[in-house]
Amino acid sequence: MTTTQLEGLIGMLFVLGILVLLVLPAVFGIVRDRRVDRQLREAEQGPAKERGPAEGQGPVRDQKSSSRSTVPSTATWYAEGRRSKKLVSS
């Protein structure tokens, strides 16, 4: 292998490496989107198909809510105040 061929091979491998680095995040994004789509489809079908009384695993329980009361954040309070001011000034 001559020096010119070796330089060509190194250049080609360098370009392919850069191409892989540029394409890799897009591939990860596609894989993530497909996983999310699959999870959404499974959620739309409902939990009764996955685990329910028909399969002998017992009744499906509702999700329990937290016993703590929810308090609006400062951002919500600020937005509500500005919204009411706009309504009054109109």
> How many angstroms separate the CA atoms of 24 and 86, rounded?
48
Predicted confidence at residue 11, as pLDDT, reads: 97
Statement: the pTM of the whole predicted model exceeds 0.75: no
Domain locations along the chain: 16-45
Average pLDDT along the chain = 78
Q: What is the DSSP string of 11-66?
A: HHHHHHHHHHHHHHHHHHHHHHHHHHHHHHHHHHH-HHHHSSGGGTS-PPPPPPPP
Chain segment 35-71, per-residue pLDDT in tens: 999 999 999 988 755 555 555 555 656 666 666 666 6
Predicted confidence at residue 1, as pLDDT, reads: 85
